[in-house]
C-alpha cells in the first residue's frame, strides 16, 4: 500500500539532503535573500535572479512521470505540493545549488482537461514555458505560435501497441490496417492525422475515446490496439494491470517515419526575445538537470511518485515503474545527445523533414498554418550550451 495522502504537504529538506538531492550548504542556514518560496539559501554558481522571473512556471503535458525527470530534478528542498491545483513549486536548483529563483511545475493531461499545452499557455500568461510536441507547434503556428528551445527527449516515446497473441502476424503499425483493428488514442493527437493521411491506418478504424485508462484495452481482450509510451505502458500492462498481465507488442511512431520531438520545452513565439536573457541561463540548467537525472534518478523518482500520490488523479505511478521508465529511455535511446555530443539540441535535417511532412498532411486536411512556418519558426538551438551532454 502507498503512504496516506494529504491534500497539501512538503517534502522535508532532511529527506532530500539524505538522498543527495541538495548540497550540504543548501541544507544549512544562510543570510542570502530568497525567492517567493521563502527559501533563503546561498545562491550558487548559476544566478538566474537578475534575468528570470521570480517564479518560472512550466506547464507539462501529463501527470508527473520519469519522462519529466529533468524538470523535477530542478526542485530544491521543501517543495510545496498543491494537490488541488496539481502543481508543485519551490526553489530552483542546478546540480544541488540554489539559482535565486523559484520554479512551479504544473501537471497536464487530466489536470487541464486534456487540452493542448499551447492552448493553456495562451490562456494563462503566468506560464513561461510549456511542453509542446513539434507537430503541435506546426499545427498551431498560425493562432498560438510557440517555439521549442530544448528537447528533453531525443526520440519520441509514443507508440501504438497491440496484443501479439491476437495479432501474431502484425509486425508494425501498418499491419493493423489490414486487420482493421480499432486503434484507441487521445482525440486531438495530431500524429493520427499523419497515420491516416499517409494511408498507414484507415480513418474508419481509429477511435479517439482513449482517456489513459487500461479498461477499454483490457475489456476488448486483445481485439484493439492503443497508443502509449514505450517507456511506460508495456511495463504497466504486463506487471501492474492484473486483468491483462502479459506482454504487448509495439512500434514507435518515430520508426514509421514520424520524426517529431516530443514535449519540447517551448515559449510563446512572440516572447522569445523578452525571455531570451533568462533562457540563456536556464536552458543550460535544463540540459544539466537531464544529465544529472539520468546519472542518479533515485531521489527525483521518489519525489515524482510522492507527488503523483498526492495529486490523486487516478494515475498510479509506482517506484518500480519510475525505475523501469528511466532504464528503458536509456535502452531505447529515447533520451540522449542530439546529432553531436550535446543534449537537448535539434537535428536540423530531421526538423526540416518533419515540417515538410506536416505541411503536406495538414494541407490535405485543410488546416491553415502560418505562411512562414519553417524549421526556424519551430525550434531554436540559440540557448543550448554545446558543452553539456551525456557521456
Q: Residues 129, 55: contact at Cβ < 8 Å?
A: no
pLDDT reported for residue 8:
28
Residues forming a β-bridge with 88: 81, 105
Query: Both 109 and 171 in a single domain?
Result: no
SS3 content of the chain, % helix, strand, coil (to 5): 35, 15, 45
Query: Both 191 and 330 in a single domain?
Result: no
Query: Both 36 and 141 in a single domain?
Result: yes
Residues 6+ apart with CB under 8 A from 386: 340, 341, 342, 345
User: Per DSSP, which regions of the chain are E strands?
Assistant: 8-10, 55-59, 80-82, 87-94, 97-106, 129-132, 146-150, 158-162, 183-184, 206-207, 225-229, 249-252, 264-268
Query: Both 26 and 121 in a single domain?
Result: yes
Q: Residues 307, 171: contact at Cβ < 8 Å?
A: no
Q: Residues 371, 315: contact at Cβ < 8 Å?
A: no
- Dihedral angle sign, alpha carbons of residues 332, 335, 338, 340: negative
Q: Is 269 part of any domain? A: yes
Q: Is 275 part of any domain? A: yes
What is the maximum span of the chain, computed from C-alpha positions, in angstroms? 68
Q: Is 270 part of any domain? A: yes
Query: Both 149 and 162 in a single domain?
Result: no
Closest CA to 91 of 107, 102, 105: 102
pLDDT reported for residue 262:
97
Q: Using alpha carbons only, how large is the chain's radius of gyration in Å?
A: 21
Query: Both 142 and 19 in a single domain?
Result: yes
**What's the domain count of the chain?**
2
> Which residue segment(s) compose the domain that 315 sits in?
8-153+261-378
Mark which of 256, 278, 306 sits at the end of a domain.
Answer: 256
Mark which of 256, 278, 294 sits at the end of a domain.
Answer: 256
Q: Is 389 part of any domain? A: no
Mark which of 214, 233, 256 sits at the end of a domain.
Answer: 256
Query: Both 136 and 275 in a single domain?
Result: yes
Query: Both 230 and 268 in a single domain?
Result: no
pLDDT reported for residue 24:
30
pLDDT reported for residue 220:
97
Per DSSP bridges, beta strands 97-106 and 55-59 are: parallel
- Helical axes 298-311 vs 319-331, angle rounded to 10°: 130
How many alpha carbons fall within 13 Å on the CB side of residue 280?
Answer: 8
Q: Is 217 part of any domain? A: yes
DSSP state of 79: P
Per DSSP bridges, beta strands 264-268 and 146-150 are: antiparallel
Q: Is 17 part of any domain? A: yes
Alpha helices in 124-190 (DSSP H): 134-139, 175-179
Residue 114 belongs to a domain with what CATH number? 3.40.190.10
Q: Is 386 part of any domain? A: no
- Low-confidence residues of the chain, pLDDT below 50? 1-34
Query: Both 278 and 248 in a single domain?
Result: no
How many residues would you count in the chain? 391
Query: Both 131 and 186 in a single domain?
Result: no
Q: Is 169 exposed, middle or buried (0-12, 13-18, 19+ CB in 10 A)?
A: exposed
In whole angstroms, what is the distance from residue 255 CA to residue 172 CA? Answer: 9
pLDDT reported for residue 29:
35
| Exposure class string for 355-373: b at 16+ Cβ within 10 A, else e | bebbeebbeeeebebeeeb
Task: Dump pLDDT digits (tens) for 99-130.
Answer: 999 999 999 999 999 899 999 999 999 999 99
Query: Both 350 and 331 in a single domain?
Result: yes
Q: Is 388 part of any domain? A: no
Query: Both 246 and 286 in a single domain?
Result: no
Residues 6+ apart with CB under 8 A from 316: 240, 308
Residue 224 belongs to a domain with what CATH number? 3.40.190
Residues 6+ apart with CB under 8 A from 364: 197
Amino acid at each position: 500500500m502507498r503512504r496516506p495522502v494529504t491534500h497539501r504537504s512538503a517534502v522535508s529538506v532532511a529527506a532530500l539532503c539524505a538522498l543527495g538531492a541538495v548540497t550540504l550548504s543548501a541544507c544549512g542556514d544562510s543570510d542570502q535573500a530568497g525567492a517567493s518560496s521563502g527559501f533563503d539559501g546561498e545562491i550558487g554558481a548559476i544566478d538566474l535572479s537578475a534575468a528570470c522571473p521570480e517564479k518560472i512556471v512550466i506547464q507539462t503535458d501529463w501527470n508527473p512521470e520519469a519522462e519529466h525527470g529533468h524538470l523535477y530534478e530542478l526542485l530544491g528542498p521543501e517543495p510545496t505540493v498543491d494537490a488541488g491545483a496539481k502543481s508543485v513549486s519551490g526553489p530552483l536548483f542546478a546540480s544541488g545549488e540554489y539559482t535565486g529563483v523559484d520554479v512551479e511545475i504544473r501537471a497536464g493531461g487530466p489536470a487541464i482537461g486534456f487540452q493542448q499545452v499551447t492552448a493553456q499557455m495562451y490562456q494563462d500568461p503566468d506560464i513561461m514555458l510549456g511542453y509542446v510536441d513539434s507537430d503541435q507547434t506546426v499545427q498551431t503556428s498560425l493562432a498560438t505560435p510557440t517555439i521549442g528551445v530544448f528537447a528533453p527527449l531525443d526520440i519520441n516515446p509514443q507508440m501504438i501497441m497491440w496484443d501479439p497473441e491476437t495479432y501474431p502476424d502484425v509486425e508494425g503499425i501498418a499491419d493493423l490496417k489490414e486487420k482493421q483493428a480499432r486503434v484507441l488514442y487521445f482525440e486531438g493527437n495530431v500524429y493520427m492525422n499523419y497515420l491516416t493521411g499517409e494511408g498507414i491506418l484507415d480513418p474508419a478504424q481509429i477511435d479517439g475515446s482513449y482517456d489513459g485508462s487500461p479498461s477499454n484495452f483490457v475489456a476488448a481482450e486483445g481485439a484493439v490496439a492503443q497508443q502509449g509510451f514505450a517507456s511506460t505502458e508495456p511495463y504497466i500492462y504486463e506487471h501492474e494491470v492484473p486483468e491483462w498481465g502479459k506482454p504487448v507488442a509495439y512500434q514507435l511512431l518515430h520508426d514509421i517515419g514520424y520524426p517529431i520531438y516530443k514535449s519540447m520545452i517551448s515559449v510563446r513565439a512572440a516572447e522569445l526575445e523578452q525571455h531570451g536573457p533568462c533562457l540563456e541561463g536556464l536552458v543550460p540548467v535544463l540540459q544539466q538537470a537531464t544529465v544529472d537525472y539520468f546519472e542518479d534518478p533515485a531521489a527525483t523518482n521518489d519525489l515524482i511518485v510522492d507527488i503523483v500520490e498526492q495529486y490523486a488523479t487516478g494515475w498510479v505511478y509506482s517506484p518500480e515503474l519510475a525505475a523501469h521508465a528511466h532504464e528503458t529511455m536509456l535502452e531505447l535511446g529515447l533520451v540522449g545527445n542530439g546529432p553531436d555530443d550535446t543534449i537537448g539540441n535539434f537535428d536540423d535535417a530531421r526538423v526540416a523533414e518533419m515540417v515538410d511532412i506536416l505541411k503536406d498532411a495538414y494541407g490535405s486536411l485543410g488546416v491553415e498554418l502560418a505562411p512562414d512556418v519553417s524549421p526556424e519558426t519551430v525550434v531554436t538551438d540559440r540557448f543550448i550550451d554545446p558543452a553539456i551532454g551525456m557521456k
